[in-house]
Each structure stands twice: as C-alpha cells, then as structure tokens.
Amino acid sequence: MIHDYLPICREDMEKRGWDQCDFVYVSGDAYVDHPSFGAAIITRLLESRGYKVGVIAQPDWKKDDSIAVLGRPRLGFLVSGGNMDSMVNHYSVSKKRRSQDAYTPGGVMGKRPDYATVVYGNLIRRTYPDVPIIIGGIEASLRRLGHYDYWSDKVKRSILLDAQADLISYGMGEHSIVEIADALNAGIAVKDITFIDGTVFRTKDLESVYDYKLLPSFEEIKTDKKKYAESFYIQYSNTDPFTGKRLAEPYGERGYVVQNPPSKPLTTEEMDEVYALPYMRNYHPSYEEAGGIPAIREVKFSLISNRGCFGSCSFCALTFHQGRIIQVRSHESLVEEAKQLTEEPDFKGYIHDVGGPTANFRFPACEKQLTKGACPHKQCLYPRPCRNLNADHTDYLLLLKKLRELPKVKKVFIRSGIRFDYLLADPSRRFLKELCQYHVSGQLKVAPEHVADEVLSKMGKPENRVYRQFVDEYNRMNQRLGLKQYLVPYLMSSHPGSSLKEAVELAEYLRDLGYMPEQVQDFYPTPSTISTCMYYTGLDPRTMEPVYVPTNPHEKAMQRALIQYRNPKNYELVAEALRRAGRTDLIGFDRKCLIRPRPLPGDRGKASGAENRRTGRPGTGRGETGKGFGGKKKTIRNIHKKVKK
C-alpha cells in the first residue's frame, strides 16, 4: 500500500496503476487527511478494506466536468457537504455572509455552494445518471428526514430527495459505509440496499418494510407546526441503536423515505482501528501556496479520545448524529498517537486537547446502555444526575497522567469542554484537583449557557445553583493549589424560553461577576435539535407545552446587547431593553445599575459624575475630554476605576 494522499487527479491514479476508482468521494471541504475530518476517516477506512478511493475536494459546481476529473467510479459516488453544515459554514445567525471559511485554502469564502450536498448530488446525477450516490456527513445526517431550515424559513423535505441520492449514511458512518460498499461490490443493486442500519432509503411502498413506525406525512409537518413537533419527538426518541425503531415518512405520490435504526456503537477495538489508519495528518500539499487550511491548526496536536454525549443539551445535534452512548479509544491507541505528535517538526511540547464532544466522558452513563441502550424518555444528567449514573473520572485521570509523562510533552490541555455537573456528581474531587493543577493554563472555558432556570430547563442544562457550586469549588481548589486561574463562561442569548426578563437576569449576573464576554453566541437554529423545533413551532416537543421564543431580530439584538451592556455601542439597545422589561431601576448611578441615564440637552459635562455622551459611561466631572486629569487616556482609566467600584 502506498503511504500517500489519496488520488485527486488522473495523474495520481496512474501512479497507483489504477484505471478506475471504486468510489469517488466529493467533499465541500478542502482535502485534509487527518482523523478529525470525516472525509479522511471514511476514505481511509474503505481503502483499508481494499477499495480504490479518489477524492474530489470543492469541485466547481458551475461546471459539470468538475465532477468527472477522476472518471466514472466503478461502485459509486460518496458525497459530503464537509465537516460543517454548509449553511452554518456560510452564514452567521443573523444570516450575514461570513468572511472566512476555515475549511478552504487560505480561508477564502465561496469555494462551496449553499446546500452543498444537494448541489453536488444534482451535479453528479446530471453527469452520471445511473451511478449510485451515497450522501453522508453532518449536513446529510441532520437533514435525513423532513426538517425546518432556518435560512429559508421553510420546512424542507428529506435531503435524500433534493440531492437525488440513493442512500444516506447517517451518523458517524463507519459501519454503514463498509456494509454499503460490500453490498455494491457483491452486485446488489443500490435500490435493493434497504437493510443496513444507519442508512436512509426511499421506496414506493412499505410492503417489504417491517417493524416500522409511521411518521406524520411531509405535507402535514409542512403545514401544521404541532404535527412537526410530534414528528420531531418521535425521531428524537428513536436515535438509540438498541431501542430505535425504523421510521417511515410519507411523501404522497413519491412514496416514502425510510430511516433504518442507527448503527451500533464502535467497540474500543474498532475505534482504535479507525484512528490507526495511515493518515498523512495534514492538508494536501497542493494547498500550501494558498496558505494552507486554517481548520487544521486547532486539531493538529489534539487527541480524540471519545465519541457520543449523554449530556443531551437541547441546542446540540449530537444526539441525532453521534448518539448518547459513549465510545472510547484505548489508552494504548491514544498514547501511540501522542508519540506520533511529538515527532512532528512543529510540535512545541503542548497537546492542545484530549477529549471529544465532552472531554470528561470516558464511559457510557451506566452499564445498562451497553446492552439495552439509552433510556428513550429520560436524560442522564437533566434535570439532575440519574441515580444509575456512573460518575467516575479514574480512567480519564490515568490516561492524562500517561500522556503528560511522555518525553517531549510539556503540558496536556483540555479544551473540548467538561461537564461540570458530571464532575460534581463524582464523589471524588481528584479530577478537579488535577484539572486545575495540570490541565488549565490560566483560564478554563465552561458552558453554563445561562443563569435563569426557566431558560436552562429549555436548554436541558442543570439549574444555576449547580454552576455556582462548581464556580465555588473551582475557586477554592485553585486557592488551595496557590494558582490564579479563572473561568470563562460561554453564554447564549435568545434561546427559546428567554424573554427580556431572563436576559436582564443574565446581565445582572455578569454585573455581579465583573465580567463582560468579548463574544456572545446568539441561539442558532440548526437542523435536528430540540431547540430548533421549539424555535420553529413555539412548542416544547417533550411536553407539547407552549414556549416563549424570541424571533424578532430587534429583540434578539437587545438580548445580545444586554450580555455586553458595558459596550458603548450597545447603550441604546440596553436602555430600550430595560424599559421594555420594566427594569428602569437599572438605569442610574447606583453601583447595581447597568447603565447611566443620558443627560438632557445642555447638561453635558456640567455636574460631577455627569455621563460622557459619546460612551454612555460616567463622566469625569471636568468636561468630556477630561482635562485636568492628564488627558484622554487617564480619563478612561479613571472611568474604569469608577465602574469597578
């Protein structure tokens, strides 16, 4: 086997002595042969099974021949929009075009189309009408059945139909893609591959489909929000590989789209095999001149130790994509990869992360999940940790110790995030101690997301008292160790359930904390999350009760501004939000106030403590320029002192 990048052109095929590829993988991302990229895992796994795989990365969708550079594949095309949904990649939550694409050479925007999987699928179908098309990746996985699309503000049908594809391989895809490849290689027609877990197919009727649950029709969910919420919750309750049912979604004369149950989780041995494949661990050298691929920087010196997440946050699609059952790699596999990292010429001694969706999950939530799956209508951590939860960090601590003791390793960081409620559920505080002592560098990022329990309940996050307990214990542990380390909380505005009342509550918390986030995440309604279902329908699909949803752009801007109330640019929005919330008591000169009142015309700079009209902050008492205090810089310093007081 040649240890090199997979073919991207005819010349590469000729070097390998190939006349034809078995599969051609089409991706919305540039070609990066690293196990943090789904395209690399799938192509290398197929290669390990003896299949010839070529890669077409970011084809020019305006030219039909761009899909033909490797010729007609023997078995089929594999299509992915990339590591991110193409619409999330292209647009901010305010639907403004982003300026950079981290998965494109030099970060250049515009190298992939909107709805990339659909566009690529149609491009292939025009060029090769009879070649099987299997779509996968995050974009196809989360749009596998009828879904609300935030960017068009419409309910869209299954991406299988819009992409003119034959099959969807959903989830992480290792099991299903090998089974699909073997079936095609055995001569089974793609229309007859209806039996593989982790796939979605279409059929004219349900005569040969057994043990299925019928969903509301696409016409129903498109016109009736209650039906949409009901359908979504049925799907959400059937994401477990052990208990999940086969689901059938009617499409009138077009027949049905059928989702088979999810694939079984990978065993530790299978995970080890996937991450031991002969990756080049970098982007294709043809991108060097353009500046390389920015996305590689965050993952090049990181280790993926687990998959899945039983945290089940409402705004996260992991339940739909990776599932709730934790899958892990062995210590031996991770140590071996870490040794490889230390031999890289640009390794500086720092392993940037050892984790996954949640770093400190190294086991299934309970032993029952290994044979019977996750409970379909119960959460492992919400509203409080399940009594059967196995909260134990022993294995993770041993792994981290092995890694930080490797030669050439100076520090092992944990950046992929920890669940503080899971940490607190562990009766031992050894993990908290070693986390602070060895794996934090000044700041630890955590995700309380909000402080109002009404909002947290919709997010599926623990009550605010749990986060406050973690903050207290974290601070005490650092004091005990003689370390000055801080918490950086991730916070979200405008999540379903958050009115201006809860947004003000969050602003007051930040005031008391003395912290203003540099960045704020406004809730982003991405496909296939409970929160997106709430956003679209105004109903919590778990209870079918109404939920307040801030959808008006101006209200969303006010909620976002309240989190950054100290920013002078946000003064008018914050003042309006406080008036609308009936909290004008927070406009004034008291230390508990968020902003100062604006002076009347002609009052500018007259009285001591008068507000600086330009900034909305307290004035110096000596005029706007602050003369007598040493000029502008000193004025700003004094202002900051007053704000702190």
For 328, the 3-state DSSP assignment is strand
**What pLDDT score was predicted for residue 625?**
31
**What pLDDT score was predicted for residue 601?**
61
- CATH of residue 93's domain is 3.40.50.2300
Partnered with residue 32 across adjacent β-strands are 283
Q: Identify whether 218 is part of a domain.
A: no
Q: Identify whether 257 is part of a domain.
A: no
pLDDT over 90 percentage in the chain: 89
126 pLDDT above the threshold of 70:
yes
Q: How many domains does the chain have?
A: 3
620 pLDDT above the threshold of 80:
no
Separate counts of helices (H) and strands (E) for the chain? 24, 26
**What pLDDT score was predicted for residue 1?**
60
**What pLDDT score was predicted for residue 641?**
39
Query: Could you write out the DSSP letters of every residue in 61-82?
Result: TT-GGGGGTT---SSEEEEE--
User: How far is 643 from 635, CA to CA, in rounded Å?
Assistant: 12
593 pLDDT above the threshold of 70:
yes
pLDDT digits (tens, 9 = 90+) for 542-574: 999 999 999 999 999 999 999 999 999 999 999
Q: Identify whether 61 is part of a domain.
A: yes
pLDDT digits (tens, 9 = 90+) for 172-206: 999 999 999 999 999 999 999 999 999 999 999 99
Instruction: Single out the residue in 400, 424, 441 at which a domain terminates.
Output: 441
Partnered with residue 353 across adjacent β-strands are 302
Domain co-membership, 55 together with 173:
yes
Q: How far is CA 65 from the centre of its chain?
A: 33
User: How far is 12 from 43, CA to CA, in rounded Å?
Assistant: 16
Domain co-membership, 35 together with 100:
yes
**What pLDDT score was predicted for residue 614?**
39
Contact of 513 with 199, CB cutoff 8 Å:
no
SS3 letters for 227-265?
Answer: HHHHHHHHHHCCCCCCCCCEEEEECHHHCEEEECCCCCC
User: How far is 539 from 536, CA to CA, in rounded Å?
Assistant: 8
pLDDT digits (tens, 9 = 90+) for 471-486: 999 999 999 999 999 9
User: How far is 121 from 165, CA to CA, in rounded Å?
Assistant: 6
Domain co-membership, 407 together with 472:
no
User: How far is 399 from 395, CA to CA, in rounded Å?
Assistant: 6
Give the helix/strand (H/E) hosting 446. Answer: strand 443-449
Distances (CA, A) of 418 to 356, 447, 533, 598, 603: 10, 8, 26, 42, 51
**What pLDDT score was predicted for residue 626?**
33
User: How far is 538 from 520, CA to CA, in rounded Å?
Assistant: 23
Domain co-membership, 122 together with 161:
yes
The model's confidence at residue 582, banded by pLDDT at 50, 70 and 90, is very high
Instruction: Single out the residue in 552, 571, 595 at which a domain terminates.
Output: 595
pLDDT digits (tens, 9 = 90+) for 17-46: 999 999 999 999 999 999 999 999 999 999
- CATH of residue 341's domain is 3.30.750.210
Return the C-alpha torsion angle 126, 127, 132, 133, nearest 10.
-70
Domain co-membership, 36 together with 146:
yes
pLDDT digits (tens, 9 = 90+) for 209-222: 999 999 999 999 99
Domain co-membership, 35 together with 181:
yes
- CATH of residue 509's domain is 3.30.750.200
Domain co-membership, 413 together with 463:
no
Domain co-membership, 25 together with 168:
yes
Q: Identify whether 555 is part of a domain.
A: yes
497 pLDDT above the threshold of 90:
yes
**What pLDDT score was predicted for residue 176?**
98
What are the φ and ψ backbone dihedral angles of 97, each rounded to 5 degrees?
A: -65, 130
pLDDT digits (tens, 9 = 90+) for 386-420: 999 999 999 999 999 999 999 999 999 999 889 99
Rounded average pLDDT over 512-535: 93
Q: Identify whether 630 is part of a domain.
A: no
**What pLDDT score was predicted for residue 328?**
97
Domain co-membership, 399 together with 449:
no
pLDDT digits (tens, 9 = 90+) for 439-459: 998 999 999 999 999 999 999
634 pLDDT above the threshold of 80:
no
Q: Identify whether 33 is part of a domain.
A: yes
Q: Is 110 left (phi over 0), alpha (psi -120 to 50) or beta?
A: left
Instruction: Single out the residue in 201, 226, 258 at which a domain terminates.
Output: 201
Partnered with residue 306 across adjacent β-strands are 328
Q: Is 411 left (phi over 0), alpha (psi -120 to 50) or beta?
A: beta
Which among 512, 470, 519, 511 has a CA at the least distance from the CA of 491? 519
642 pLDDT above the threshold of 70:
no
Partnered with residue 148 across adjacent β-strands are 155
pLDDT digits (tens, 9 = 90+) for 77-109: 999 999 999 999 999 999 999 999 999 999 999
Rounded average pLDDT over 296-314: 95
**What pLDDT score was predicted for residue 250?**
98
Other C-beta atoms within 10 Å of 606: how many?
Answer: 11
Q: Identify whether 490 is part of a domain.
A: yes
Which residue segment(s) compose the domain that 310 sits in?
Answer: 301-441
Domain co-membership, 341 together with 462:
no
The model's confidence at residue 515, banded by pLDDT at 50, 70 and 90, is confident
**What pLDDT score was predicted for residue 377?**
87
User: How far is 496 from 291, CA to CA, in rounded Å?
Assistant: 40
Domain co-membership, 26 together with 152:
yes
Rounded average pLDDT over 237-253: 96
600 pLDDT above the threshold of 80:
no
**What pLDDT score was predicted for residue 603?**
54
Domain co-membership, 321 together with 407:
yes
Q: Identify whether 217 is part of a domain.
A: no
